[in-house]
Structure 1
Amino acid sequence: MTQTLTASELPGAVAALVERAAQPDFDAWRRRIVRLGGCTNPIHLVGTGALVDADTGEVLHAYGSAERGGRLLTACGNRRTAVCPTCARTYRADTYQLLRAGLVGGKGVGAEVDGHPRVFATLTAPGFGPVHTRRAGGGRVRVCRPWRAGERCPHGAALDCHARHTEDDPRLGEPLCPRCYDYAGAVLWQAQSGQLWHRFALELRRELARRAGLSRTEFAEAARPAYAKVAEYQRRGLVHFHAVIRLDGRDGPGTAPPGWATTALLADAVRTSAGLVRLPALGAEIVGRRVLRFGAQVDVRPITAFGAGDRLTTQAVAAYIAKYATKGAEAAGAVDRRIRHGADLAELPVRDHTLRMIGTCWWLGGLEPFAPLRLRRWAHMLGYRGHFSTKSRRYSTTLTALRQARAEHRAAEQRTALGLGDRSMVAVGQWRYAGRGYSPEEALLAASVREGGGVHGA
């Protein structure tokens, strides 16, 4: 089954769709595809299910894959835009609601949270060697690296670049000298960046307590920081963390923080904590001793309801972070699937810098000291093995709760359509995986749904 159609496949798909339209079950077939909203790679399930009265055990409605063309199709649910734009749009909307609830209230969070200190912080990766970059400012693009005119590295590569790179320049993120670039350090930083963030969260509590003149125990009794963050890949293949960080009272968002807890204090504590965090890298006996840390560029800005100057609005921050929640390593030119064999590296359609990072993951991943990092498993992610979006427990609602609310809404619509009213029901069934994807005519219909025209508009 195919997920997308090539130009050569299109005529056959059109003919198959026309033939399908003449069949008696066309409307039911069409509804099964349209209800997926244009998902590019749906999952096929085989089995049976039923809606059962929760009080009496009576079967109110039975259904199965047999009467749905032999298989029940359900959306893939992939969060990445590069894999499925439709499901990624849903994931992005859920992430936006989660983030916004933690800023202004809603979804079980009180509106008083809008008055708590909160900042938008970006923690970057350090440098592992000079790379081509796009320096924009003052309404113009500046020269990439003009400072070391005429200087060369030990391998003879020029250390200056006088190009004004465009946004689509393939050189962006590429090292000026690949032999000088610390690929082992970059991969190890990437693989342990989740632990680095964890240490940052701990250090932030210590720094806030110190600034308030409290012990850690006293601080825990007075205030509690909360956060939601996403990881964004840069062109050089390393992630940055974008986060909303909020300071609450001792019992979370429903309690006001103490009087000393100001936005300025929180912002300064974030900057200081990011600079203090250190983490020894694994495998010092093989690649040398490395101490991992965040980059020197730490951006921290206050979040307000309306924004002015360097202050950001709650809506802008939620939308900005949610956008990155649906991007993956493909933004850095990596591949969207796991690499199973070392021989596959020779055929990867990636640029040289990305291939070197993948190759370094594969090399280090085969050595015992790096086994805990599972680098070969995550080589296609350039070593990053953390979740792309995470939050502290009390920041706001959860993605699971949002999905459950959506499922309950759909179930209520289904009860109404079946004439079951408000009866208390549970869904039971047995389903098994039976494949994924579309036939050519299904792919054509799904594409029309995504574009909002064609058969979908009929």
Structure 2
Amino acid sequence: MAARLRAGDYQDWRARVEAIGGCAKPIRLVGGSTLVHALTGKVVDEYGGTAWVPCGNRRSTVCPTCSDRYAADAFHLIRAGLSGGSKGVPESVTDRPRAFVTLTPPSFGAVHNRAFSAAGRQRRCPCGERHHEHDPRIGTPLDPAGYDYVGAVLWQAHTGVLWHRFITRLRRELAKQAGIPIRGFGRVARLSYGKVAEYQRRGLVHFHAVVRLDGPEGATDPPPAWATPELLAECVRLAAATVVVKTVRPDGEPLRLGWGGQVDIRPITREYELEDDDGRISEQRLAGYIAKYATKGTGKTEAADRPIRSQLDIDHLRLSDHHRRMIQTAWDLGELDQYEPLNLRRWAHMLGFRGHFLTKSRAYSTTFKTLRGDRQAHRLAERLTALGIPTDELADITVINDWEFTGTGYADDAERELAAAIADRTRQARLTRHRREQDQP
């Protein structure tokens, strides 16, 4: 590391690392970029040589820098759909019927837990002990031999279908309660949502979702008069209780998959408090809460960071026996022809979960693509400003890129350690700046 610090090209190397925020595994390119004025055909600027771009991995265990960027984008995406006033979403969305919904998986066998009474006293686990918060046994089966690993993995693999059917059923329930035909629902109202998946300690995901009722045009259109928060909450409860996905076990036995009995529905308020006495949750805290779980690394206690390529990968993973058993079950089920459409071997490292961690309906708010485009436009505007070109000519500039991939990551451990230190200092500086801005009157 000392040798790298004394190297003649260190300052250039450091500037390159700082430009990508200290990304843990940058993508290295060689080639060039040319700016051309579309109307005149004049070359405005040229750059040639090597370039580094961030890896873009959302997992904090893989790349903290890119995970932070994804978390920021997730926050703005969710926040825009909650509060409006930005990203093309009007502030009037705060007057819509909205609910924060948590859907949980069913039970596939008793597990060690850490429960509390209404008075706040910790109850004993069924094993007879009172577990501390970080006890690795929490979430693992009391009886591993009797735990339904096949059912758990198959439920996990079907959560995408289950969510889709839940939304379809919710629309039907809303139409039914409003007294309108289901085919006419889209002409009077639209159901918008943003949801994120979070792993539980037992290795199964549950969903946190912001659900909103709009008019037929989406965020810019007010909902009909019959749409109320109470109606939305009741229809969510009915839809969650009735939706089901049917599949079969390896021996052909029918298997019905649905949501668990714990369905939490909370109204959303504008106040900047986490919760009030009647269980409401605020917009600001909720957006941060969902963004946190959108980027939460699945970690070594829940899943693997990379796809499983062979049985040897499973044998050498540093996991609990419970999560290794789930990965092994997904891997073994992937060999069976009847589960070929599920492609379980590809998703074994995710314990069978095949969905995206953050998804939304089309009309909920902006998109990740739009946010990335805004960021690129901002960088281009900075480049034009440095060249003395007015930013109002941005639309007339064409960017021609010609890059070739040459590799990923850093040259050695010394560079990786230095880049990690740069990333940590950048992150701490950003947090300090954010706290100062929050403290200003």
TM-score (norm 1): 0.88
In the alignment, structure 1 residue 350 sits paired with structure 2 residue 319? yes
Say whether the 8 Å CA contact 2:301–2:320 is kept in structure 1.
no
Read off the aligned partner of 2:179 and give its amino acid letter.
G
Residue 295 of structure 1 aligns with which residue?
260
| Structure 1: distance between partners of 2:253 and 2:422 | 54
Residue 366 of structure 2 aligns with which residue?
397
1:33 is displaced (CA, Å) by 1.1
Q: Classify 1:417/1:442 alpha carbon distance in 2 versus 1 (closer, same or farther; 3 Å).
A: farther
In the alignment, structure 1 residue 172 sits paired with structure 2 residue 156? no
In the alignment, structure 1 residue 144 sits paired with structure 2 residue 128? no
Say whether the 8 Å CA contact 2:301–2:319 is kept in structure 1.
no
The one of 434, 448, 451 equivalent to 2:406 is 434
Residue 356 of structure 2 aligns with which residue?
387
The one of 426, 434, 451 equivalent to 2:424 is 451
Q: Classify 1:407/1:136 alpha carbon distance in 2 versus 1 (closer, same or farther; 3 Å).
A: farther
Say whether the 8 Å CA contact 1:227–1:395 is kept in structure 2.
yes
Residue 329 of structure 1 aligns with which residue?
298
Residue 151 of structure 1 aligns with which residue?
none
In structure 2, the gaps of 5 or more residues are 431-441
The one of 381, 388, 397 equivalent to 1:425 is 397
| Structure 1: distance between partners of 2:397 and 2:409 | 31
Say whether the 8 Å CA contact 2:195–2:360 is kept in structure 1.
yes
| Structure 1: distance between partners of 2:409 and 2:241 | 47
Query: Within 5 A, what are the aligned runs for 1:19-418?
Result: 19-20=6-7, 23=8, 25-65=9-49, 71-105=50-84, 106-137=86-117, 138-145=119-126, 161-281=127-247, 283-284=248-249, 286=251, 288-306=253-271, 308-309=276-277, 310-330=279-299, 332-418=301-387
| Structure 1: distance between partners of 2:424 and 2:344 | 38
Read off the aligned partner of 1:353 and give its amino acid letter.
H
| Structure 2: distance between partners of 1:82 and 1:340 | 20
| Structure 1: distance between partners of 2:301 and 2:209 | 20
| Structure 1: distance between partners of 2:121 and 2:416 | 43
Q: Classify 1:453/1:414 alpha carbon distance in 2 versus 1 (closer, same or farther; 3 Å).
A: closer
Q: What SS is found at the alignment partner of 1:359?
A: helix
Q: Classify 1:453/1:348 alpha carbon distance in 2 versus 1 (closer, same or farther; 3 Å).
A: closer
Say whether the 8 Å CA contact 1:14–1:444 is kept in structure 2.
no
Quick check: 248-257 or 364-373, which moved more? Answer: 248-257
| Structure 1: distance between partners of 2:197 and 2:121 | 28
Say whether the 8 Å CA contact 1:196–1:293 is kept in structure 2.
yes
Count of aligned residue pairs for this structure pair? 419
| Structure 2: distance between partners of 1:32 and 1:453 | 14
| Structure 2: distance between partners of 1:269 and 1:300 | 11
TM-score (norm 2): 0.91
Alpha-carbon deviations, 1:265-296, whole Å to 9, x = none? 10111011001101112x44625210000000
What RMSD over aligned residues (CA atoms) do the two structures have, in Å? Answer: 1.8
1:344 is displaced (CA, Å) by 2.5
Say whether the 8 Å CA contact 2:103–2:263 is kept in structure 1.
yes
Say whether the 8 Å CA contact 2:59–2:67 is kept in structure 1.
yes
Say whether the 8 Å CA contact 2:98–2:229 is kept in structure 1.
yes
1:383 is displaced (CA, Å) by 0.4
Alpha-carbon deviations, 1:229-268, whole Å to 9, x = none? 0000111110000000000112111111111110011011
| Structure 1: distance between partners of 2:11 and 2:298 | 39
Percent identity over paired residues: 51
Say whether the 8 Å CA contact 2:300–2:318 is kept in structure 1.
no
| Structure 2: distance between partners of 1:453 and 1:227 | 33
1:308 is displaced (CA, Å) by 2.7
Read off the aligned partner of 2:120 and give its amino acid letter.
G
| Structure 2: distance between partners of 1:430 and 1:415 | 19
Say whether the 8 Å CA contact 1:81–1:88 is kept in structure 2.
yes
Q: Classify 1:107/1:395 alpha carbon distance in 2 versus 1 (closer, same or farther; 3 Å).
A: same
Alpha-carbon deviations, 1:155-193, whole Å to 9, x = none? xxxxxx121111211101110111110100000000010
| Structure 2: distance between partners of 1:211 and 1:331 | 45
| Structure 1: distance between partners of 2:239 and 2:114 | 28
Q: What SS is found at the alignment partner of 1:291?
A: strand
| Structure 1: distance between partners of 2:22 and 2:177 | 52
1:90 is displaced (CA, Å) by 1.1
1:327 is displaced (CA, Å) by 1.9
Q: Classify 1:270/1:332 alpha carbon distance in 2 versus 1 (closer, same or farther; 3 Å).
A: farther
Say whether the 8 Å CA contact 1:50–1:60 is kept in structure 2.
yes
| Structure 2: distance between partners of 1:322 and 1:411 | 27
